[in-house]
Structure 1
Amino acid sequence: MRVKGPGISGKGTGQEPGGPSIVSCFGALKVRELETELDLEQKRSADVIKVPVNSSILLWQAEEDRKNNLRLQDLVDKLQLKVKSYKRQTEEAEEHSNTNLSKCRRVQHDLEEAEERADIAESQVNKLRLKTRETITTKVSLLYRVQHYDYHMSLKSISDIKVAKGDERGVTPLIPGHMDSLSGRGSTILLKSPRARTGGRMRLWLDTQPGPLIVHGQDPSAFAGVCSDDI
């Protein structure tokens, strides 16, 4: 007869009928834990390996950024130089424009002064013309028909005729009546004849309107030397 003791029972051996042993279960759990730890270690080692790679990438990016910054700084410097050059050219153009404007104003001022001087000169010329008419001496070689009341004569060779407008001070040039009118009324004429019996001078008042010149004054017989009766 066989007696079963506690040391030889199935529980004492750690085995159960129809199931795995406790040792194998613990072993499997331990393997799983180790596998998990291994995975974690592998991940940590991968992260540690990635750090230098990432750092090198960051260093490369930093170097590229530095180069880009240098290029941008160089471009900024060049643009600043261009801006300074354009500013200097603008200042020179403004200075040149101001110079031309001052020249234009000076020329305009000179022109205005010249116009003013021309007006003054023209006024002086007109005054001189009026003054010179007092002493104008002209020679007449035209044939004038003079009527002294009912006495007619032709003056053919009168020389040195002085013409005065109203009197001897306001002299105007002697112009034929068919060309112009001296005063609208007449002129005082001093006639000089080389063969005049009364000293060769006679004061006449002549109507200068178109037609026969009407003489009012002294006896025209003083000009017998230059008169002709074949009218």
Structure 2
Amino acid sequence: MSEYLETPAGRRIAYQRSIGRGPGVVFLGGFKSDMTGTKAAWLHDWARERGRGFLRFDYSGHGDSSGSFEEGSIGDWSQDARHVIETLTDGPQVLAGSSMGGWIALLVARALPQRVAGLVTIAAAPDFTEQGFWAGFDETQRQALTTAGRVALPSDYSDQPYVITRRLIEDGRDHLVMNQPLPLPFPVRMLQGTADADVPVDWAMRLLDHATGGDIRLTLVKGADHRFSSPECLRLIAQSIDDVLA
């Protein structure tokens, strides 16, 4: 059963957690995904079996949390993540960020480095509003975004299109991480599938090259797609968390 936490901004965030030994693990989901997804649920069970603290939650506008998805932004969702981590966990945590959650995890790590014991990213998509959406828009779409404030894109994961707003793009530019130093002074394990149609392998290579730290590794999985949810991929995520904890 989900519990709820009110943020200082008045957003009601749904979450589920297991109390256990630390450092705990916090799962940060992707764009328009929620905490009932395969990776979040599997990792929650995995952590519970080991007596490890675990926390998963829905950003505002996602899942069971309050708000409209179309009104949200990277800044809002990173604020949600920070408040959840600061309020519901104690001490350093291992952040496991999937897709957009990888970007959110990097923003949390930049803001709260003392609360991060390690980082595991799965198909991390830092700055995707700029290097993915905006860079991929044609002139008609950019014009629609400027004049109408939104543009609809087809989704491979839902019958409903993604509505991309001007606020999402403009706010994303205020939270970029690839245009400035990115120190990660804790163990980092990056996971990336070579068959990912949403996040190119090149993004993972650029993130590896851009970040600085003494213990950063990238693992490429041949044939794995963006979901990264096969039994083998799930076990690799867990092994990466164990590696960071060790």
TM-score (norm 2): 0.19
Greater strand content: 2
Greater helix content: 1
Greater relative contact order (CA < 8 Å, ≥ 6 in sequence): 2
TM-score (norm 1): 0.19
Which entry has the higher C-alpha Rg, 1 or 2?
A: 1
